[in-house]
Structure 1
Amino acid sequence: MAAGERGPAVCIVNPASGVQRGRTIEQRIATELPEADCWFTRHPGHGIALGRQAVEDGYGTVVAVGGDGTLSEVANGVLVAGGEKVRLAYVPAGTCNDFARGLRPVADLGGLLDRARDRETDVGEVTFTRPDGTRGHRYFLVSCTVGLISVIGQRFTEKTPANRVLKRLNLQLAETASSIRTLARWRPVAVRLELDGEPSHQIITNLAVLKVPYFAGGLTFGRAEPPRAGYLDAVRVAGVGRAGVAGLMWRVFRGAAAGHPAIHRQEVRTVRVDADSPLPVEVDGEIVGRTPAEFSIHQSRLTTVV
């Protein structure tokens, strides 16, 4: 393209996401989608700013290239900029890619410009408490967690000397160590929970609020179907101690969690959760704040293509 011209799409690439085999993702874009512009994220959160800039610059198709976290950041930038009419495309090139799991991603990136592949997608939104006590807001396309899984995530992101060493050696090793340390001290927590406005007091191990059935790289709570349009899938894990949690986690990893008595699922439009001791809130793989938190469906939908 000539200087100053804008292509029909912009690819926002997280160069730190996943591992590309064979050709690098830049080579694929240059070969299969040569008319698109290409921007690279430089730090966590940069995808939000680039997504917003893409809408402000007038791109009709914004392509997130990376994992679910990259997609989430770009989607947040697009929505903050009022870009509900923008097409949000996704090239799953990260570690988990749960948003695209069960779908058939394009074999050639040029297919992302094919409007016959467009689909309308619900967007979840969450309001939470920041560390300074102010209220924060994020949109999500995959999942949120409060409880054991979010505490493990918080431990994994702590900048301790041990974490730094383990992450340099192996990320999966660091994740496993965070899981073991958390589980060794874990106790189920008392929460105040509202599902569609119905209040209750619960003792839970974990609460997941899902827009897709998968999390953590293809794991499920026993169901491989997403919630109905306009709904969230609220999944509580309750009634198990440490030994029971370890057994349940083993069943989840084996894909055998369906029917487990500790798993309680309900399709709802709104969720609110609070606890006497604030719990971390994980949104699309990132710890964003703590409880109290509210989850709902955003009033607008996104046009997505994979």
Structure 2
Amino acid sequence: MNTTHTTDPTDTTDPAIRRFDAICVIFNPHSTGNAPELAAQLREQLAQGLPYSPEIRMLPTAYAGHAVDLAREAAGTPNALVVSVSGDGGYHEVVNGVMAAGTTDAVCAVLPAGNANDHHRTTARQPLAQAIAEGQVRDMDLLRLTTENHPGAQAVHAHSYIGFGLTPVVAIDIDKGNKGAWKEAVSVVRTFARFRPFRIEHTDGTRAEIDSLVFANIAQMAKYATLSEAEDRPADGKFEVILSPHTAKWKVLLKAARAATTGLGDQPSVARYEFTALKPMPYQLDGEVRSVPSHTTVRIESAPSALTVIG
């Protein structure tokens, strides 16, 4: 439950004010962005600006997925703040590492670095160093994805959105090539021209061809697209479902333009959604691309107040 406080930030008697024993800053030292510099700046700001003296741990990642392990270990430290200096993908790993730690009093935060910062842009309330100094935390829902008929599959969490269909297909094609605005634009056009719809089966047995199916815990994604006008996200115990049945490509473009300008308007809000992928199907969790095999049952659930955050 989110609560707004106006108490004196130096008052440590207020249980809603957190004074951390350890602040663990996770970042990619080889980031193509400025993550190392931002991490160092945050360390200096905290060392000089906090009204107390926590242990500040700088935790550079060494390989892909390392942030999950670092966050899980950090969350095992009592009264810890785990900061991801990254974009949405890096924060995704940190959130899943904290969740994998099980019962923990760890708090999460993200300091935006990199290209994709949808989560920070739509949920941040104040500069991170200031938020840590004031110590006011709040709870946030997560999206939980589980799959059946998929050997070895485990539940995974998303802080912002899970998307099936066109969105991950475009992301896969972009990832194959070099980065760059022009080349990315060319990749999007090429992929869109080749795109074919996916078939899914709903729990009532009805089948549908879809261009995309997005489950959103935040109002916006991809920098400019407004997915829904629902309020109280991401802490209302529900998420929005944006389903786009297969249609003519010009209509898909029209919908994308509407999302980037006026927004898509109100969307259905649910606590659980389940379907079966009738063919292999890629999907994105906060920008991280994965896939499910054919005839796999996919379940998306809200995990209410699963994560405590600051910022």
TM-score scaled by length of structure 1:
0.81
Whole-angstrom CA distance in 1 between matches of 2:216 and 2:31 = 22
Give 1:19 shift.
3.8
Whole-angstrom CA distance in 2 between matches of 1:108 and 1:122 = 20
1:182 corresponding residue in structure 2: 191
Tell whether 2:270 aligns with 1:250.
no
Tell whether 2:22 aligns with 1:8.
yes
Do the aligned partners of residues 270 and 199 (structure 1) sit closer, same or farther apart at CA in structure 2, a change above 3 Å counting? farther
Give 1:59 shift.
5.1
Tell whether 2:53 aligns with 1:40.
no
Deviations 1:195-246 (A, max 9, x none): xxx5542222100011111112242225374366111211111252112212
Asked if the contact 2:69–2:97 (Cα under 8 Å) also holds between the matched residues in 1, the reply is yes
Whole-angstrom CA distance in 2 between matches of 1:8 and 1:187 = 49
Asked if the contact 1:143–1:211 (Cα under 8 Å) also holds between the matched residues in 2, the reply is yes
Pairing partner for 1:232 from 236, 239, 252: 239
Give 1:267 shift.
0.8
Pairing partner for 2:146 from 127, 133, 136: 127
Do the aligned partners of residues 209 and 104 (structure 1) sit closer, same or farther apart at CA in structure 2, a change above 3 Å counting? closer
Pairing partner for 1:192 from 195, 198, 201: 201
Do the aligned partners of residues 241 and 16 (structure 1) sit closer, same or farther apart at CA in structure 2, a change above 3 Å counting? farther
Deviations 1:119-169 (A, max 9, x none): 111111112479x854243111100100111211222334xxxx2xx33xx
1:155 corresponding residue in structure 2: 173
1:26 corresponding residue in structure 2: 39
- The answer for unaligned runs of 5 or more in structure 2 is 1-19, 48-53
Do the aligned partners of residues 119 and 188 (structure 1) sit closer, same or farther apart at CA in structure 2, a change above 3 Å counting? same
SS in structure 2 at match of 1:49: helix
Whole-angstrom CA distance in 2 between matches of 1:100 and 1:278 = 31
> What do you get for the CA RMSD once the two structures are aligned?
2.8
- The answer for unaligned runs of 5 or more in structure 1 is 1-5
Deviations 1:242-300 (A, max 9, x none): 122122223333x22435xxxx8311111123232221121110112225321112366
Q: Map 1:200-211 to 2 at 5 A.
A: 200-211=206-217
Asked if the contact 1:128–1:281 (Cα under 8 Å) also holds between the matched residues in 2, the reply is no
Whole-angstrom CA distance in 1 between matches of 2:40 and 2:31 = 16
Asked if the contact 1:206–1:237 (Cα under 8 Å) also holds between the matched residues in 2, the reply is yes
Whole-angstrom CA distance in 2 between matches of 1:137 and 1:74 = 15
Do the aligned partners of residues 33 and 234 (structure 1) sit closer, same or farther apart at CA in structure 2, a change above 3 Å counting? same
Whole-angstrom CA distance in 2 between matches of 1:141 and 1:212 = 8
Instruction: Give the share of equivalent positions with the same residue, in percent.
Output: 24
SS in structure 2 at match of 1:99: helix
Give 1:24 shift.
2.4
TM-score scaled by length of structure 2:
0.79
Whole-angstrom CA distance in 2 between matches of 1:107 and 1:153 = 30
* Equivalenced residues, count: 281
Whole-angstrom CA distance in 2 between matches of 1:152 and 1:119 = 34
1:272 corresponding residue in structure 2: 274
2:129 corresponding residue in structure 1: 109
SS in structure 2 at match of 1:229: coil
Over 4 Å off, 4+ runs: none
1:284 corresponding residue in structure 2: 286
Asked if the contact 1:208–1:236 (Cα under 8 Å) also holds between the matched residues in 2, the reply is yes
1:3 corresponding residue in structure 2: none
Whole-angstrom CA distance in 2 between matches of 1:228 and 1:31 = 32
Asked if the contact 2:199–2:207 (Cα under 8 Å) also holds between the matched residues in 1, the reply is yes
Do the aligned partners of residues 7 and 153 (structure 1) sit closer, same or farther apart at CA in structure 2, a change above 3 Å counting? same
Give 1:48 shift.
0.5
